Amino acid sequence: MKKYLMPVLCACAMPILAMGRNGDSLTIRKIADEVLTHSTAYENLRVLTKQIGGRLAGSPQMVKAEQWGVEAFKAAGADTVYLQECMVPHWVRGEKEEARIISKRRDFIPPLNILALGNSVATSPEGVTAPVIEIGSFDELEAKKDQVKGKIVFYNYHFNPRFIKTFHAYGDAVKYRSNGPSRAAKYGAVAVIVRSMSHGANNFPHTGGTHYDTAYAKIPAVAIGLEDADMLSARLKDDPSANIFLKTNCQMLQDTIGHNVIAEIKGSQHPDQYITVGGHLDSWDICEGAQDDGAGCVQTIEVLRAYKAAGIKPSRTIRFVLFANEENGARGGSKYAEVAKAKNETHILALESDAGGFTPRGFASSMSAEKKAVIQKWRPLLEPYGVYDFSEDGGGTDIGPLHRLLDTPMAELIPDSQRYFDVHHAANDVFEGVNKRELELGAVGMAGFIYLVDKYF
């Protein structure tokens, strides 16, 4: 295209609200200019994803990523950088999983593309072979509970395309991954296959943590790619006596030592009051963890860098945290909250970026109605940067413990969500999927939001 009407050219590069709001818009514009012209976020992400890669808790990459985080915070100009030790689970995938349809027809069927769910137990070394029962919902599971014993339960619940915000589709579907294995084990299932939580039109299986209810047997659980899920479903309709052979090699080892990586800009007036900004440093082992949550980490570092480079001196102390072990334990966030409570720290607000490095749309929050009303007044200051939606409740796995233990108000960056579940927890969550400017605009939104929190909260 070429434009017929040229837009009013300087509207968005100028501090349009400056006169009316005490220079806040000027300051946010200054931060935005700093980020959009000198950001290191994209290059930081390249190093984290391409040179370190997947960094599950307990892995050698976890240690490298922590060292990287320390150096990146220092390079960004932090007043202080330190590690906060916490024990983290140490789950390993082992050799690549195997899955095959075993049919009496003996026609050729390609192997199924699967990934063990995080924290899952393995099959026995020889694998498991069993008949399959396809289950569309927990209601259907209850209705068919007498047919489950000795079988592999295949949860084929589809991501609902009618939800506009894809996180709502995820919220709707994720229970089959989290609770599906134990609910199937309750009725004697021997293993579980879960349809991946994605709209993506490809065959990447999407892993993610599962949770075993200790009341029931721990059975092996895997995710299956969408194309294979459809193929398996069609096959079972046509060939219901087909079995599946499944072999997983994962293992939960002893807890090991991980760290939250923490940097600070000391508050100029209230150094003992804290505002936390963060993402999580760990990722699943099978991907680069670029959107989940390398983006949140480099945005966090970029907020620090932009504050220092633009000469912003917050009155409260800003803590920038790369949390350990969000994906399969959330121990980093728990540790952070426990230490804050033990030290009787005063926390003003915690902000997390853990929904991808896409163009920002808004901030969700969990806090009192009075505080929410304060945040919603900031819309005119942030809408010039594409941030307009302050309607939803939200927070983040890593800052949830602080919210619960200390009643700290919490908020989360809400980026555009359409592409997130194309790559979430899958091998295609790579650096190339992140757009430099979208990533930077998220950091602009975060920096502007934190500036306003520091000043008005």
Nearest approach in angstroms of CB 241 to its own copies is: 32
Contact characters 190-229, its own copies, x per CB under 8 A: ---------x-x------xx--------------------
CB nearer to its own copies: give 24 or 354.
354
Task: Return d(Cα 397, Cα 280) in angstroms, integer.
Answer: 9
Task: Return d(Cα 33, Cα 265) in angstroms, integer.
Answer: 20
Q: Say if residues 443 and 303 touch (Cβ distance below 8 Å).
A: yes
CB nearer to its own copies: give 300 or 317.
300
Nearest approach in angstroms of CB 173 to its own copies is: 10
Q: Establish if 300 lies at the interface with its own copies (CB under 8 A).
A: no
CB nearer to its own copies: give 304 or 402.
402
- The residue assigned the tokens 């819309």 is 379
Contact characters 383-422, its own copies, x per CB under 8 A: -xxx-xx--xxxxxx-xx---------------x-xx--x
Q: Establish if 292 lies at the interface with its own copies (CB under 8 A).
A: yes
Site for its own copies in 119-178 (CB under 8 A): 160-168, 170-172, 174
Contact characters 438-457, its own copies, x per CB under 8 A: x--x----------------
Dump the DSSP string for 196-257.
-S---SS------B----TTS----EEEE-HHHHHHHHHHHHH-TT-EEEEE---EEEEEEE
Contact characters 349-368, its own copies, x per CB under 8 A: -----xx---x-x--x-x--
Site for its own copies in 36-65 (CB under 8 A): 36-37
Q: Establish if 335 lies at the interface with its own copies (CB under 8 A).
A: no
Q: Is 326 a catalytic residue?
A: yes
Catalytic residue (choose from 34, 134, 302, 326):
326
CB nearer to its own copies: give 97 or 293.
293
Q: Establish if 284 lies at the interface with its own copies (CB under 8 A).
A: no
Peptide bond into 293 cis (omega under 30): yes
Residues with Cβ < 8 Å from 6, sequence gap 6 or more? none
Nearest approach in angstroms of CB 450 to its own copies is: 19
Task: Return d(Cα 197, Cα 375) in angstroms, integer.
Answer: 32
Nearest approach in angstroms of CB 26 to its own copies is: 14
Q: Establish if 33 lies at the interface with its own copies (CB under 8 A).
A: yes
Question: Binding its own copies by CB under 8 A: which of 24, 97, 134, 293?
Answer: 293
Site for its own copies in 4-23 (CB under 8 A): 4-13
Task: Return d(Cα 367, Cα 369) in angstroms, integer.
Answer: 7
Q: Establish if 239 lies at the interface with its own copies (CB under 8 A).
A: no
Question: In terms of DSSP H, where are the helices of 81-144?
Answer: 138-143
CB nearer to its own copies: give 298 or 355.
355
Q: Establish if 181 lies at the interface with its own copies (CB under 8 A).
A: no
Q: Is 415 left (phi over 0), alpha (psi -120 to 50) or beta?
A: beta
Task: Return d(Cα 71, Cα 81) in angstroms, integer.
Answer: 9
Nearest approach in angstroms of CB 352 to its own copies is: 9
Q: Establish if 437 lies at the interface with its own copies (CB under 8 A).
A: yes
Beta strands 360-366 and 410-415, pairing class = antiparallel
Residue 193 amino acid letter? I
DSSP 127: -
Q: Say if residues 317 and 274 touch (Cβ distance below 8 Å).
A: yes
Q: Exposed (0-12), middle (13-18) or buried (19+): which is 252, by Cβ within 10 Å?
A: middle
DSSP 281: -
Q: Say if residues 322 and 81 touch (Cβ distance below 8 Å).
A: no
Which are the catalytic amino acids?
326
- Which residues lie near its own copies (CB under 8 A)? 1-13, 32-33, 36-37, 160-168, 170-172, 174, 199, 201, 208-209, 280, 292-293, 326-327, 354-355, 359, 361, 364, 366, 384-386, 388-389, 392-397, 399-400, 416, 418-419, 422, 424, 435-438, 441
